[in-house]
Every structure is written in structure tokens, then in C-alpha cells.
A and B are shown apart, each in its own frame.
Chain A
Amino acid sequence: KNEVEQSPQNLTAQEGEFITINCSYSVGISALHWLQQHPGGGIVSLFMLSSGKKKHGRLIATINIQEKHSSLHITASHPRDSAVYICAGEYGGSQGNLIFGKGTKLSVKP
């Protein structure tokens, strides 16, 4: 059974702190996605990666294929980063089916 586990479930940080969210998956995936869900529910795709590391602004995503593990890092966190961050493993080839973690609710305090 394909599973995606995220930790922590909830995370509170002070503005400026370095944040790490972790994601583990059970079997081989074709890609790993990090998504951001805003309080209203809208979802934005942050990263899609299958190896190595990607960086966009203050966000960094890494993946270790051997360990079946990915991390999302936020540097110099800001209250506007407060959101739910969701990890999803892509299985099933060209259909692009995603299996989602339960999300990490991040709250950054000023």
C-alpha cells in the first residue's frame, strides 16, 4: 500500500526561525510534490521533484530517494508563511495520481 507520512502535524514558530517539515513515503514514487494550502482552502503547488534539491525564494525542498524521505525548509520564516503544507507522492505513471500526507499546519508568530 502506498503511504505518505508527514511530520510534525502542527508547528508553531517565531518569525525569523528556520523551519523544517518532513515527509516519508512507503514505496517508489515517480515524483514528490510539496503543496501549500491557504486558510481559505486554495492549494498552490510549491515544488515537484524527483531527485536532489530545489529552491524558490525562501523555500527549499530536498529528496533522498534511497531513504524515501523529503524535507521542506523555510528560511527566515514570516507570518505570511502560515498555512498547511502538504506532501504528496506521485504514483501511477502518466496519470499523475497523487497520494497525500495529512499536512502540517504551520503558524508563524510575529
Chain B
Amino acid sequence: SQTIHQWPATLVQPVGSPLSLECTVEGTSNPNLYWYRQAAGRGLQLLFYSVGIGQISSEVPQNLSASRPQDRQFILSSKKLLLSDSGFYLCAWSTSNQPQHFGDGTRLSIL
């Protein structure tokens, strides 16, 4: 069966530090992969999506980046975190015309 793993579940980082959040999917090939963020008091917002290895599309300008080094691995990164990067980050996957499946999320607090 298909599963999605996202880690860590919670993370506290100082301003200016780097970030790496990882998401992996099992049980499916060539999925569409997504990174979302839910800032405090706001709805979910799509940050990045990928339809294949090395193919990344960004929906909003920011100091975050995403990479897809393998078919079922999606990484969200930052070189220098800002206070405004605090929030709840969700990874998701889907295949054509099917509902998205979400990871458990990472709660990121920037101090």
C-alpha cells in the first residue's frame, strides 16, 4: 500500500539557521509531490510541486527551495530561516485524477 513519511514532526530553529525537511513516498511510482505551508491563522498554501525528478515549480516567492533527488523523495530547504517561516509544513502526493494524500506534517517554530 502507498504511504508517505514526513519528518521531523516538530522542529525549533533559530533565525538564520538552515532547514531541511524530508518527505518520502512508498508504494507508488512517479507521483506528483507537493509542499504546503499553513501559517498561523491562515489557510494552507501551496509552496512547491513536482511532476518528476528534478522538476520543481514554485508557487510563491520566498527564501525556501525544494528538490527532488529521487522519484519518491521531496526535500524542502532553506539556507537562512526567517521568523516568517514559522508554520506547519505538509507534504503530499498524488497520481493523476486521484485525491492527494498528506503526510503528518512538521510544525516549525523559528526563535
Residue of B nearest to A93 (CB): B96
Q: In A16-59, which residues have CB < 8 Å from any B CB?
A: 31, 33, 35, 40-45, 47-48
Q: What number of residue pairs across chains A and B have CB atoms under 8 A from each other?
A: 57
Distance in Å: Cβ of A33 to nearest Cβ of chain B:
6
- Give the residue of A40, A45, A94, A99 whose beta carbon is less than 8 angstroms from that of B100: A45
* Known A97-B59, A99-B46: A41·B51 in contact at CB below 8 Å: no
A97 touches B104 (CB 8 A): no
* Closest CB in chain A relative to B51 CB, distance in Å: 6
Instruction: List residues 20-60 of chain B with CB under 8 A from any CB of chain A.
Output: 32, 34, 38, 42-46, 49, 51, 57, 59
Task: Kindly state the separation between the CA atoms of A26 and B78 in the bound complex, as whole angstroms.
Answer: 33
B residues in contact (CB < 8 Å) with A: 32, 34, 38, 42-46, 49, 51, 57, 59, 88, 90, 94, 96-102, 104-105, 107
